[in-house]
C-alpha cells in the first residue's frame, strides 16, 4: 500500500489508507449474500476489540484477559441508551450515534479504572485483575437484573434500513455498512496513535520502564492511556455487535470468548493491525467452516453434539501451537518475512571468491584500493 502514494507519510497516509480500505470493504458487501454480510458485520465488530487488544498487549506490553467484559460494557451501554431513546420517540441515526457515544463513555470509564490498577500491577497480577472482571459479568447482570435483565439480557428495538436506502440494500448489508464504518474509524484512530508519540512512549515503557522514566516518560500515565484507548475500541465493538444482533446478554461474553480474543491477536501477530483483522476473521469463519465440514460427514447425533463447540477450541489450540513454532511473529508476519528474505543479498559462490582473491597482489592491491573507512570518510568530509 505504501508504494501507491509514496509521498504520503505519517498520519495523513494512515487516514487515506483507512478511508480507502473502508470504501473497498463497503463495496464488497454488494458481492455477498445476506448471511455473508452478517458474518462480515460480526468480523468488523470483533476487529474493533482485537485491534484495541493488540495495541494494549503488543505496544504497551500489558496483558489483559478482560476484553470481553469491556465489550459487554459497551453493548449494555448501547442497548440501555437505545431503549431509552426509543421510549422517547427518537429513532434512526440519532439513536445509534447517541447509543454509541454512551457505550464508548462507559467502556472508557471502566478501562480507566483498570488502567489505574495496571499502573501499579504487572504480569500475572494484572492478568488476574482483568480475569476477575470478565468472570464477574454474569454476577453483575444477575445482581442488577431489574436493569440488565439477568441471563436473558437486554433486547433493543428493530433498527432497519434508512428510507433513502430501502430500495438499494437489505438490512444485513446496512448492518455491515455500519459495522465497517465504525471499525474503519476506530482502527484508523488506533493506527494513528500507534504510529505517533503515544505509540513510541508505549513501546518505550514495554521495553524498559526504568529507562523510559529516566528519559522523562511517565509510565503510569502511558499505561492508563493505553488501557483507556483499548477499552474504547472494545466498547465500540460491543456496541456494534449489539446493533447487529439486536441484543446483549452475559452469555455472549464469557471467559472462553475473552481468551479467544487473546488467542486471535496472538495468531494474527501482536502489535499488528493486520494481524488483528486476521484473528477476527478466524474467530467468525473457522467455527463456521468446521461446522459445515462436520455436517457433511456421516456422524451420529451423539458424536456431532460432542464435536459442536469443542472441535473449534481444539483446532484453535493446535493452530496456536503450529503458528508459534513456525512463525512466532504471527500470520501477519509471513508477508514481512518473505519480503525481508527477498531483499537479502545473494552470497557469492566459492569459485567467484577464489577468482577474486587470486587477482589481488597483497600489499600492491591494498595500496591502490581505499579501505571502507576511508570511503566512508570521503562521503562525509
Query: Which of 253, 337, 320, 240 lies closest to 286, judged by CA?
Result: 320
Taking 70 as the threshold, does the pLDDT of residue 272 lie above it? yes
Lowest mean per-residue pLDDT among 259-268, 307-316, 321-330, 346-355: 346-355
Asked whether 72 and 137 are in contact (CB, 8 A), the reply is yes
Give DSSP secondary structure letters for 282-311: HHHHHHHHHHHHHHHS---HHHHHHHTTHH
The answer, yes or no, to whether residue 78 has pLDDT greater than 50, is yes
- Give mean pLDDT, residues 169-174: 91
Nearest to 121 by CA among 106, 131, 109, 136: 131
Per-residue pLDDT, 305: 75
pTM of this prediction?
A: 0.83
Instruction: Point out which residues pair with 247 in neighbouring strands.
Output: 155
- What is d(CA 137, CA 296) in angstroms, rounded to the nearest whole number? 37
pLDDT (0 to 100) of residue 345: 53
Say what the pLDDT of residue 346 is: 47
The rounded distance, in Å, linking the Cα atoms of 276 and 182 is 15
Residue 373, pLDDT above cutoff 70: no
Residue 336: which pLDDT band, with cuts at 50, 70 and 90?
low
Give the Cα separation of 106 and 53 in Å (integer).
17
Q: Is the pLDDT of residue 343 over 50?
A: yes
pLDDT-above-70 percentage for the chain: 85
Is pLDDT at 23 greater than 90 in this prediction? yes
Predicted confidence at residue 357, as pLDDT, reads 42
What per-residue confidence (pLDDT) applies to 147?
86
User: 123 pLDDT exceeds 50?
Assistant: yes
Determine which of 167-171, 172-176, 234-238 has the lowest per-residue pLDDT on average.
167-171
Asked whether residue 141 carries a pLDDT value surpassing 50, the answer given is: yes
- How far, in Å, CA of 57 to CA of 269, rounded? 11
Assess whether pLDDT exceeds 90 at residue 176: yes
User: Confidence band (pLDDT; 50, 70, 90) for 327?
Assistant: confident
Amino acid at each position: 500500500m505504501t508504494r501507491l502514494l509514496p509521498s504520503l507519510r505519517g498520519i495523513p497516509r494512515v487516514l487515506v489508507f483507512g478511508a480507502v480500505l473502508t470504501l473497498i470493504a463497503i463495496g464488497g458487501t454488494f458481492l455477498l449474500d445476506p448471511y455473508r454480510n452478517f458474518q462480515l458485520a460480526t468480523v468488523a465488530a470483533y476487529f474493533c476489540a482485537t485491534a484495541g487488544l493488540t495495541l494494549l498487549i503488543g505496544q504497551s506490553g500489558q496483558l489483559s484477559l478482560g476484553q470481553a467484559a469491556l465489550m459487554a460494557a459497551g453493548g449494555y451501554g448501547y442497548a440501555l441508551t437505545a431503549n431509552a431513546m426509543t421510549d422517547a420517540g427518537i429513532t434512526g441515526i440519532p439513536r445509534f450515534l447517541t447509543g454509541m457515544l454512551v457505550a464508548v463513555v462507559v467502556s472508557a470509564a471502566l478501562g480507566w479504572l483498570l488502567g489505574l490498577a495496571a499502573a501499579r500491577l504487572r504480569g500475572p497480577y494484572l492478568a488476574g485483575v482483568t480475569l476477575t472482571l470478565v468472570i464477574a459479568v454474569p454476577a453483575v447482570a444477575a445482581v442488577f437484573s431489574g436493569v440488565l435483565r439477568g441471563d436473558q439480557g437486554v433486547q433493543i428495538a428493530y433498527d432497519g434500513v434508512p428510507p433513502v436506502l430501502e430500495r438499494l440494500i437489505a438490512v444485513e448489508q446496512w448492518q455491515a455498512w455500519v459495522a465497517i464504518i465504525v471499525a474503519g474509524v476506530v482502527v484508523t484512530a488506533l493506527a494513528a496513535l500507534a504510529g505517533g508519540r503515544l505509540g513510541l512512549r508505549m513501546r518505550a515503557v514495554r521495553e524498559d520502564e526504568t529507562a523510559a522514566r529516566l528519559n522523562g516518560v511517565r509510565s503510569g500515565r502511558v499505561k492508563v492511556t493505553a488501557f483507556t484507548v483499548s477499552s474504547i475500541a472494545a466498547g465500540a465493538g460491543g456496541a456494534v455487535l449489539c446493533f447487529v444482533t439486536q441484543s446483549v446478554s452475559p452469555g455472549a461474553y464469557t471467559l472462553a470468548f475473552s481468551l479467544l480474543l487473546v488467542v486471535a491477536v496472538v495468531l494474527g501477530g501482536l502489535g499488528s493491525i493486520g494481524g488483528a483483522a486476521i484473528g477476527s476473521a478466524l474467530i467468525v469463519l473457522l467455527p463456521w467452516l468446521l461446522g459445515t465440514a462436520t455436517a457433511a460427514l456421516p456422524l451420529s447425533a451423539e458424536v456431532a453434539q460432542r464435536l459442536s463447540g469443542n472441535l473449534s477450541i481444539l483446532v484453535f489450540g493446535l493452530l496456536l501451537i503450529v503458528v508459534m513454532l513456525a512463525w512466532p511473529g504471527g500470520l501477519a508476519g509471513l508477508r514481512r518475512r518473505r519480503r525481508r528474505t527477498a531483499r537479502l543479498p545473494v552470497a557469492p559462490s566459492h569459485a567467484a571468491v577464489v577468482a577474486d582473491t587470486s587477482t589481488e597482489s597483497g600489499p600492491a592491491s591494498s595500496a591502490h584500493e581505499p579501505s571502507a573507512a576511508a570511503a566512508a570518510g570521503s562521503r562525509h568530509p
